[in-house]
Structure 1
Amino acid sequence: MAIPIAQWVADARANLAHAEQVCNDANMYLTSTSEKLRRREMKVPKLIYYLDALKQQLRLLEIIRDSLVLNLNGVMEKRAALQSQLLKDVDRLHQTIDTLKNTVVVFDGQTTLYEYISESGVEELFNGVSQNLKDIQTLIKGNRTDALLIRLTSDLDHLSNELNALDSKFRDMRLVDTQSSSIDPISKLLEINAELEHDMVAILTSFNNHYDQCEKGEAILKDPAVPQDEKDELVSVLQNDVEELPEAQRSLTSNAEIIKKNCKEVMKILDIFEDYFQRVETYVCELQEYGESKLRVQLKEFSDINTEVSRKLEIAQTHQDELVQYNSDFQQFVRSYYSLILELDRRMRVNEHISSAIDNFRSTISNIVEKDHEKRMEFLQKHGDFIPQNLVDSSVINSGTPQISINFDQEPLPAISKEVVQLAKKMQK
């Protein structure tokens, strides 16, 4: 029986070429997967940095938002308190002005105390208070600050939800979870591929050995120097190898297909990572764009409103101080007016006391003068004829009683009734 050694050599060559092609195809998948896995491993540290930095940035934005809330709440509380106080002070000043209008000056009985104050200055202050409060109300009309906070909070909530979703996905991928008991699917697939690759190398080696044996066998069979029994043994070995080639080829192809399938699964997982990484980078750009555009506009709106409201509040504080000062001055004017009445009443009583004292003094002097006159007359009657004229100056002997004149010019004061004086005393209490 003819031995088809040439056919075996040709088949061995063809099987080896096919096996090499199958291995090359599988190796292409393994190489591509390995390269993509290498790129992922290079991106993982950057990804971790991104997520940590994004969390810090978002926390910073929340702190900024909370600071704005505190600042605006403080401004609004100050506005409410100052506005309430302003309205009270305006009402007090109106009451004091009403008192001025209702207090008739007793000195002429026609004018009131109101006519002696600067009416234009008071009206200008009232108008300024009213206009400034309207300006403040316009600035916060429609809850502009609340709307700004709502928009800012909504934006931050949206960004926070997105980041939370990204962070949750990162944990699900278990890229750095060394403590987890679950098996990383990529690691498991790569482990399987390594075993299959080892088998394929062995199978490819067997194909290569078979081809070498076939070529050597063809030469041995043609060599007459080789004993027949050795040739028969060689043919038996080659025959067995030839019969096993189809199964080996099926095993090789099966392993290659499994490797390709596993690589595709790994590539699929890596594609998910790449898509995730791209989402993170997109989020980074989104957050950067938000900070450079929308947030900048929002912060400027906050700043503008806060600055203008604060400026108006400073004006309101000045108005409040002026209202208090006007009210204090006008009330002091009323007190001073009634103090003037009491002072005039005091002076009038002083006049009366002095006049009474002078009258009493005049009466005393008159009695003294009368007694002196009587004594002089009595002396002259008894001794006048016996005293020589040149003993003493005659003017001394004949002089009359000294004359005393007392004049008192009373201070001209307006007449004030007892009722007015009593009212003044009551107002001073």
Structure 2
Amino acid sequence: MLTTCLTHKSAKMFAIHLVMTASIFLWVNNSHAAYLSGNTKPFHNGGTGECNECHSTGAVESGVPRRGNLLGSDSSSTCLRCHQSPEGVQHEPYQVATSGIELVEGVAPRELTPGGDFGWLKKNYRWSGEGRDKEASQGERHGHNIVAADYGYSADTKLSTAPGGNFPANSLSCISCHDPHGNYRRSVDGTISNAGKPIIASGSYNNSPEPDAFSAVSVYRMLAGKGYRATPGVEFTADPPTAVAPSAYNREESSTDTRVAYGSGVSEWCSNCHGSIHDAGSGRATQHPSGKQGKLSAEITYNYNAYLSSGNLNGSAGTAYSSLVPFEMGTDDYAVLKATANSNGSNRSGATMDANVMCLSCHRAHAAGWDSSMRWNPNTTFIVYDGKYPGTDNGAPAAIAQGRTSAEVKMAMYGRRASDFAVYQRSLCNKCHAKD
């Protein structure tokens, strides 16, 4: 009788231990969605998530064999099962593509993450130009053309490989940049590796916990690092950048900017696929310097901080920042970055002599409303015309409206008011160069 009681008691304690262990496991693997918005459905929070959210653990659905038993027909389609916003449903912070947008003329994609909305890849524009019969801004020129067959995204038809590199366009997917299993982690000493202490949370946000002696956090946006091979023959040589985003980041910027604090390493990380784009011997020597080669001079620093709009150089360093022309701060100090990243206007400080230009100073990482994934339209004389965003609906010249409605232009500018700029506002290259 005594033996029976002891055995029962041991079994009960073992069961309690299993429950506690499972609870800890689920907490560690809580989703970035839950981390940000209180969503109760657990998934990845920096590290590996629930396998069955991406992979079929039973029979292959519909009898169609898929690589790795993915729930989508390819990698990006699997990602977009969660990261594309369903039609008619309020978007979540982590969604990076608007569904059905190609079917609605004159309506812009609605996701406003710093990386941009892949929906712009489906927006094609044509207009009559000055001195030319036709002009066009094709959707595939608006950003990185991920291949996601289930959602209508296909490879770039013009570029067969990444500019400045050899990454094949027909292999480009979400996991070309992001490690789907989130193995890359930042340790307490700042080192990045793809194994080591367990990942306890995302490391992307200004309210993310910091690693300690017993744990690590994920790298920025679960980007892949050194040694990563998403495609045969292409191996990453640079680790993810040092950066911190505000916890509220998919939002209009009509009142305050969404400020991602970029510390260092952005352009160096982009070189994993675009390695020779800035090399003098590549035929691209005229490309804009960036990264460590793009440190701001005293003149550029002054211009950035003084520039408010075309013809207005009355700004000050304390309020000079614009997310349409972000810069790299030149620091790896996460305390500094977390104090800087915000979406409420609490830190609008401008450039210093430690700052530098980076790829994301001009381009968005995913896609944008403009060619080359630019943050503003580089192919028009005026980005604001006669005090309004130029559109086919308000009488702007065709060469300036370029086939877009004023609402589309405003959304591509992340909801900013046209009145925030000059009545005839020119290119935002002037934020640094102050030519007009």
- TM-score, normalised by the number of residues in structure 1: 0.18
Q: Which has the higher contact order (CA 8 A, sep 6+)?
A: 1
> Which one has a bigger Cα radius of gyration?
1
- Larger strand proportion, structure 1 or 2? 2
Q: Which has the higher helix share?
A: 1
